[in-house]
Amino acid sequence: MGELTVGGQSLPVVYDTGSFEVIVMSDLCTSCEVGGPIYSSSQSASFHEGTGLVATHVFGSGPVTSKKGEETVIIGDTHSPLVANNMPFWQVMEHEVDVWDKHSKFSGIVGMGHSAHAPNMDDQTAKDKVWAEDKSLLEMVGVTAFSVCLERSPGTPPGWLVLGPTPEGAQHDTRFVHVPVVGEIHWGVQMTMLAADGQEAYNACHPSCGAIVDSGTSLIAAPREAMEALAPVFNQIDPDCGSLDHLPDITFILGDGQISIPPAIYVIRVTGYVQESQDIVDSLFGPPKMKAVTQCVPAFMEINMNTKWGPVWILGMPFMRYYYTVFQRDPKSLHVAFATAQCRPSASPASIYMNQTASVSRFTNTSGMRYGRERDLVKTLNVSDVQVPVWARPALKGKKPKPVMNLKF
């Protein structure tokens, strides 16, 4: 989350590279219970009713019905120079997003797509897009590049969103891998070659895949062929997180650059609830007893969709915990560098992922093996908090995967 100012009101929002518009919790939603502040048009001197259009946006967590208006929107606090006057935005009237409840801290979702205009939200997965006249927030504030990085150091801010001149310089920085964006709508890039432990999975991404880099996705999503190819690696994960120093990196190529993800990034602790064993009397006369279970699992989920570039991957928050990622709108490209623990770009991986006494790597572009303290970096995630795009949702809920579908970037 980061700060957004709407009509002079400060709101904590999710900055989402996988969506396109500004949507905020408002007092128009009489049934909503949220833990964060709520926007009120009556408290603003810059609100305009506009068309008053009511429409529904569909996220991975559920649909959100909102009313359109116009406002003065500032990325950051009131001192920020990134001001959009008469910005089209949406006020939530009702929603079915499970995590947007009285325990949540965020009050809005801000789309950070690369297009100058938001696509028609009536059918986000349609092949033929009808582009709306509304300019995107990034277009309105004149930002052509921004970066996202999630910190790993304890006692620090959880991450940084940086906009303007600093990320714009990444295109000329040799610390970064430079990747063209091929997606017309999403931050989609071409992926080739998948390998782990020195073994390439020839059928998993041949001749290529399409990878979407999405700050609004909690996991890494991959097609079935890739999940099957990586199964020998995943099967080595100790539920008690005791085997991370023995696991290999997972490696692939984005554009012309080789990218590696270490086990402390692709392994997470997940807390969920399972049913306790009960005797027959308890099962007949009482509700099932549930207990919390926390264990280490791969930070992967399965999706089965196609683009003209091949099967779809989603590189979500685990990717941004290891890599400092710059999203550039003009020209459309991604720039990826290793992230230091303090979220600065680096040409080398952080030393916490390397054994300083070793000098031989195992199919990775780093310069050393990892050691056991990696397990201290593993992130914990509640199952109920996992966020994915709407078209990737069925696999996460334990349902059978849908037939392969086509997705236009």
Closest CA to 192 of 327, 94, 313: 313
* pTM (predicted TM-score): 0.83
Yes or no: say if 336 and 323 are a contact pair by the CB < 8 Å rule.
yes
CB atoms near residue 351 (< 10 Å): 11
Q: Is residue 233 part of a domain?
A: yes
Residue 47 phi, psi (nearest 5): -75, 140
Closest CA to 345 of 188, 166, 211: 166
Same domain, 138 and 163: no
| Last residue of one domain, picked from the residues 95, 110, 143 | 143
Q: Is residue 149 part of a domain?
A: no
Same domain, 240 and 371: yes
Q: Using CA atoms, how far apart are residues 178 and 336, in angstroms rounded to an integer?
A: 7
Yes or no: say if 210 and 309 are a contact pair by the CB < 8 Å rule.
yes
Same domain, 119 and 232: no
Write out the chain's pLDDT in tens, 409 residues.
899 999 999 999 999 998 889 999 999 998 888 778 999 999 999 999 988 999 888 776 778 899 999 999 999 999 999 999 999 999 999 988 777 776 678 899 999 999 998 876 444 433 334 345 789 999 999 999 999 998 876 666 788 999 989 999 999 999 999 999 999 889 999 999 999 988 888 888 889 999 999 998 889 999 999 999 999 999 999 998 887 888 999 999 999 899 999 998 899 888 777 677 766 666 666 677 777 788 899 999 998 888 899 999 999 988 998 999 999 999 999 999 999 888 899 999 876 665 432 222 222 333 333 434 455 566 665 655 566 554 455 544 444 333 333 444 5
Q: How many domains would you assign to the chain?
A: 2
Residue type, 391: W
Residue 53: exposed, middle, or buried by beta-carbon count in 10 A (0-12, 13-18, 19+)? exposed
Tokens of 337: 């560098």
Same domain, 98 and 205: no
Q: Is residue 150 part of a domain?
A: no
Q: Is residue 343 part of a domain?
A: yes
Q: Is residue 152 part of a domain?
A: no
Same domain, 100 and 134: yes
Same domain, 293 and 368: yes
| Last residue of one domain, picked from the residues 113, 143, 173 | 143
pLDDT at 258: 92
Same domain, 304 and 383: yes
Q: Using CA atoms, how far apart are residues 22 and 265, in angstroms rounded to an integer?
A: 30
Closest CA to 44 of 81, 95, 10: 10
pLDDT at 371: 38
Provide the CATH number for the domain around residue 30.
2.40.70.10
Q: Using CA atoms, how far apart are residues 390 and 373, in angstroms rounded to an integer?
A: 36
Residue type, 221: A
Q: Which domain holds residue 385?
A: 158-406
Same domain, 244 and 364: yes
pLDDT at 272: 73
Same domain, 300 and 357: yes
Q: Using CA atoms, how far apart are residues 111 and 90, in angstroms rounded to an integer?
A: 12
Closest CA to 328 of 122, 121, 170, 128: 170
Q: Using CA atoms, how far apart are residues 178 and 297, in angstroms rounded to an integer?
A: 31
Q: Is residue 151 part of a domain?
A: no
Q: Is residue 296 part of a domain?
A: yes
Q: Using CA atoms, how far apart are residues 36 and 1, in angstroms rounded to an integer?
A: 12
Yes or no: say if 231 and 261 are a contact pair by the CB < 8 Å rule.
no
Q: Is residue 227 part of a domain?
A: yes
Same domain, 16 and 120: yes
Q: Using CA atoms, how far apart are residues 115 and 20, in angstroms rounded to an integer?
A: 8
What are the angstrom distances between the C-alpha of 249 and each of 194, 363, 370? 11, 7, 10
Q: Using CA atoms, how far apart are residues 53 and 59, in angstroms rounded to an integer?
A: 19
Yes or no: say if 195 and 353 are a contact pair by the CB < 8 Å rule.
no
pLDDT at 155: 65
| Last residue of one domain, picked from the residues 83, 110, 143 | 143
Tokens of 276: 């306790």
Q: Using CA atoms, how far apart are residues 218 and 200, in angstroms rounded to an integer?
A: 26
CB atoms near residue 256 (< 10 Å): 11
Same domain, 166 and 108: no
- The helices-and-strands tally (H runs, E runs) of the chain is 7, 28
Same domain, 248 and 99: no
Tokens of 394: 């069925």
Q: Where are the alpha helices (DSSP H) in 101-148?
A: 137-141
Q: Using CA atoms, how far apart are residues 50 and 22, in angstroms rounded to an integer?
A: 15
